Chains A and B, each alone.
Chain A
Amino acid sequence: MANFNIDADKNLTYDAIVIGSGISGGWAAKELCEAGLKTLVLERGRIVEHVVDYPTMTLDPWEHDLRGGLTPEQKAKHPKGGRSGFIGAMNEHFHANDLENPYTEVKPFMWVRAHQMGGRSLLWGKQTYRWSDLDFEANAKDGHGVDWPIRYKDLAPWYTHVEKFAGISGEALGLPQLPDSHFLPPMELNCVEKHVKERIEKDFKGRNMIIGRVAHLTEPLKGRGKCQYRNRCDRGCPYGAYFSSNAVTLPAANATGNLTIRPFSIVQSVVYDEQKGKASGVRIIDAETSEEIVYKAKIVFVNASTLSTTQILLNSTSNRFPNGLGNDSGELGHNLMDHTYRVGAMGTVEGFEDQYYKGRRPNGIYIPRYVNLKDGPQSDKFVRGFGFQGGGGRSGWGAGSNQEAFGGDFKDRLMKPGPWEFFITGFSECLPYHENQVYLNKDVLDKWGQPTLSIDAEWKANELALNDQARQDAKEMLERAGLKDIMEFDNKHEMGFGIHEMGTARMGRDPKTSVLNGTNQVHGCANVFVTDGACMTSSSCVNPSLTYMALTARAANHAVSELKKQNL
């Protein structure tokens, strides 16, 4: 792949600026560059070139001196993100340094950040599902939050557009609550998953258990290789088999010759031109030299990731917008949402002791939402719903730690796989509450002297009621499927653990109650677009990244069309 043009300072004026290079920023860059716009992508971290900058991608445990263990110095950099349990030596270099980038937890909130080119697209779970009108109509129907300014039909062609390029594997089922994508062949369920699926679908009318729909190639696509089932995704994939900005959208943007990407660029604010009534550019601080530079452009896409995007908007004050860009409504920073995490049940499955599998599948099973559907039974305990992720497999030598045994026979038995285990965990929808919010904290500054965020958000009664039901349902399904040693669990993780932050600059129909319009333009500043998780008006119970991609492609194409009409 060609090197990226990082010489941004030769030219301070572009057609478009994109802030951030993660999932949504990468899509904005690709769509804008392909439409012929000279586009500057501002990235606060370093350049991470596909393959070249994946130092751990092929390492076996014994090829690392600590076999994946972290030094105390490495651990000390991740007091917040480290709570996720996901940071190890093989991916530590893709996680932001919490000490240089502090934030304040007014209530507990784990904020996982990835400050480099590609952002969290290098680390994400790759579960990719379309949302449906069950989601887009939810606020209007039950009165929580404000109405989405779009419906499924507005987004459907854009889902198809991004899916054809990103590559989504899955099985078409025609479920109204989980519309089918443009699919590559699905991954396979293993013996035990097939068994549990049959039992659940037989015993519970209206429930389905499917293989996860994922942004992993199961066939080669546009020069990218298919998944090799190594399950080392979070180190970067040498085959480009999973969707990341680094492997997919940024190389496409680069191929147009219209892309410049500037690393080490910490965006301080979007610059608002009071005369023209629109944004004129973006002010950055060079992370290495602390030099301040202003870049100019006709349009600005803010895709810094949900909370960082809102942080930038809050910090972008002017006479017109004294409380932050686009904050006429007072809703900027509010209505923060996430999905619940680690609530469900697990157990063992007997009868498949002579069966095994091959490959480390970076995917599991999915049970789509079945409660409070349009035509189904309605709960009187909660609104909205939940879906489940999970999977089955055989335990390995790690199970030996708990066995009351030792010695030669014990050691040799551990060479063979242990019992089959199966688990499911619920992901519950979170309602948009005005009081779940972030705001600028000028008492705590980051390494570059910029105000940081305070996060003040918590689950409320509806989310807790959804979780209770998800846990009970999980246990009931596993019982009816014949599992043994069933254990239900609810870790009651704080918000942030879902790593699905959404809201804080929501789309809406009314500028008095929302920050963005139906094409993701900032109310009152039409040449600024927000298309990452910040724009979300509700949270669904379904993983959001595919929707960010579709919203971004739709907004970028709208921006190009408006530019051509000279409306921006």
Chain B
Amino acid sequence: MNRRDALKKSALALGAAAGAPTLLSLLQACAKTDRLTWTPVFLSEDQASFISSFVDFLLPKTETPGGLDVKTDVFIDLMYAKTYDEAGQNQVVADIEKFNADCKAKFGNVFAELSPEDKAACFKEHEANSPKFPKTVWGGAVGPREPVGFYRSLKSTALWAYFSSEEIGKNLLSYDPIPGEYRGCMPLSEVGNTWSL
């Protein structure tokens, strides 16, 4: 059994512990695989489907591209695959399963299957209950700090994955790879959006 299969199995076990899967939910899981338009390298299809729906609800398409348009979900899966160690990967899988189990308990279904109203209620509850990231100075946290939990951590990862994508970084934010000068004061209207880099 390779590591990914093992993780999937343990994830299933965790899911079972959190709320025994019914035949119906297994059927839904099968149905969902058709809708996933990309092949995850680390996550199971159900877990990937959760990430996609999370990203889409956090960063929907407006006049500007949505999270899914710039493959925010695909990159998050890659991050889990390539930058997390095994303990970190196990934790992510457990966190996703727990998030979905909580959704089921409160709203009757996994996150991806909820109505927009229920998704909003779910996010609002997590926003209210998730500690904030500490301030940072030179890349290090300062001041009081406590673990932000899975919701805010994933939100932060999704923002990073979205805004560091080429489409957003080059075409939406103000992109200037070689400024050539420093101007300490200038009207924001001359720049427009936040600097990309």
User: Taking the complex as formed, is A233 at the interface, i.e. its CB lies under 8 A from any CB of chain B?
Assistant: no
- Residues 175-195 of chain A, each 1 if its beta carbon lies under 8 Å from chain B, else 0: 000000000000111110110
What is the CA–CA distance of A432 and B194 in the complex, to the nearest angstrom?
46
26 CB contacts below 8 A, A to B, read A60-B169, A62-B164, A62-B165, A66-B82, A69-B79, A72-B84, A85-B139, A190-B184, A193-B184, A228-B179, A229-B179, A230-B179, A342-B142, A358-B191, A359-B180, A359-B183, A396-B195, A397-B173, A406-B155, A408-B60, A409-B62, A410-B58, A411-B64, A412-B62, A487-B143, A491-B140
A405: which B residues are within 8 A, CB to CB? 127
Most chain A C-beta atoms within 10 Å of own C-beta, residue among B58, B85, B172, B185: B185
- Residues 66-81 of chain A, each 1 if its beta carbon lies under 8 Å from chain B, else 0: 1101111001000000
For the A-B complex with A193-B184, A346-B135 known, give 10 more contacts whose Cβ atoms are closer than 8 Å. A60-B169, A60-B177, A229-B179, A344-B137, A358-B181, A359-B179, A397-B194, A401-B156, A402-B132, A489-B142
Please state if A71 and B177 are interface contacts (CB–CB under 8 Å).
no
B133: which A residues are within 8 A, CB to CB? 401-402
Are A415 and B127 also in contact (CB < 8 A) when A67-B164, A188-B183, A359-B179 are? no
Q: B residues 62-93 with Cβ under 8 Å of A?
A: 62-64, 66-67, 75, 78-79, 82-85, 88
User: Taking the complex as formed, is B123 at the interface, i.e. its CB lies under 8 A from any CB of chain A?
Assistant: yes
Please state if B182 and A358 are interface contacts (CB–CB under 8 Å).
yes
Please state if B159 and A401 are interface contacts (CB–CB under 8 Å).
yes
Please state if A415 and B191 are interface contacts (CB–CB under 8 Å).
no
Please state if B185 and A190 are interface contacts (CB–CB under 8 Å).
yes
User: Taking the complex as formed, is B57 at the interface, i.e. its CB lies under 8 A from any CB of chain A?
Assistant: yes
- Please give me the residue from chain A that is nearest to B59 by CB atom: A411
Segment of A4-12, A349-357, A517-525 in the binding face:
A349-357
Q: A residues 38-63 with Cβ under 8 Å of B?
A: 58, 60-62
Most chain A C-beta atoms within 10 Å of own C-beta, residue among B64, B124, B181: B181
Please state if B156 and A194 are interface contacts (CB–CB under 8 Å).
no
What is the CA–CA distance of A347 and B97 in the complex, to the nearest angstrom?
38
User: Taking the complex as formed, is B188 at the interface, i.e. its CB lies under 8 A from any CB of chain A?
Assistant: yes
What is the CA–CA distance of A84 and B57 in the complex, to the nearest angstrom?
35
User: Taking the complex as formed, is B107 at the interface, i.e. its CB lies under 8 A from any CB of chain A?
Assistant: no
Give the number of residue pairs across the A-B interface with Cβ within 8 Å: 179
User: Taking the complex as formed, is B128 at the interface, i.e. its CB lies under 8 A from any CB of chain A?
Assistant: yes
Q: Which residues of A contact B (CB under 8 A)?
A: 58, 60-62, 65-67, 69-72, 75, 84-86, 187-191, 193-194, 228-230, 342, 344, 346, 353-361, 394, 396-398, 400-402, 404-412, 414-417, 423, 425, 487, 489, 491
Please state if A355 and B140 are interface contacts (CB–CB under 8 Å).
no
**Cβ-neighbour of A66 out of B58, B79, B139, B178 (below 8 A):** B79
Please state if B137 and A425 are interface contacts (CB–CB under 8 Å).
yes
Please state if B189 and A354 are interface contacts (CB–CB under 8 Å).
yes
What is the CA–CA distance of A213 and B108 in the complex, to the nearest angstrom?
61
**Cβ-neighbour of A71 out of B82, B137, B169 (below 8 A):** B82
- Residues 151-183 of chain B, each 1 if its beta carbon lies under 8 Å from chain A, else 0: 010011001111111100110110011111111
B191: which A residues are within 8 A, CB to CB? 356, 358
Are A355 and B60 also in contact (CB < 8 A) when A344-B137, A402-B133 are? no
Q: Nearest-CB distance from A245 to chain B (Å)?
A: 24
- Please give me the residue from chain A that is nearest to B67 by CB atom: A411
Please state if B194 and A489 are interface contacts (CB–CB under 8 Å).
no
User: Taking the complex as formed, is B24 at the interface, i.e. its CB lies under 8 A from any CB of chain A?
Assistant: no
Please state if A70 and B182 are interface contacts (CB–CB under 8 Å).
no
Please state if B142 and A411 are interface contacts (CB–CB under 8 Å).
no
**Cβ-neighbour of B137 out of A70, A75, A416, A423 (below 8 A):** A423
A406: which B residues are within 8 A, CB to CB? 57-58, 123, 127, 155
Are A66 and B78 also in contact (CB < 8 A) when A344-B137, A356-B188, A401-B156 are? yes
Please state if B60 and A417 are interface contacts (CB–CB under 8 Å).
no
What is the CA–CA distance of A84 and B156 in the complex, to the nearest angstrom?
21
What is the CA–CA distance of A405 and B189 in the complex, to the nearest angstrom?
25
- Please give me the residue from chain A that is nearest to B62 by CB atom: A408
Please state if B187 and A489 are interface contacts (CB–CB under 8 Å).
no
Are A360 and B58 also in contact (CB < 8 A) when A342-B137, A415-B193 are? no
Please state if A416 and B194 are interface contacts (CB–CB under 8 Å).
yes
Please state if A397 and B187 are interface contacts (CB–CB under 8 Å).
no
- Please give me the residue from chain B that is nearest to A238 by CB atom: B178
Are A407 and B60 also in contact (CB < 8 A) when A66-B78, A189-B184, A397-B163 are? yes
Q: Nearest-CB distance from B20 to chain A (Å)?
A: 31
User: Taking the complex as formed, is B26 at the interface, i.e. its CB lies under 8 A from any CB of chain A?
Assistant: no
Are A414 and B163 also in contact (CB < 8 A) when A66-B78, A358-B181 are? yes
- Please give me the residue from chain B that is nearest to A232 by CB atom: B197
A354: which B residues are within 8 A, CB to CB? 187-189
B61: which A residues are within 8 A, CB to CB? 408
User: Taking the complex as formed, is B23 at the interface, i.e. its CB lies under 8 A from any CB of chain A?
Assistant: no
What is the CA–CA distance of A555 and B78 in the complex, to the nearest angstrom?
53
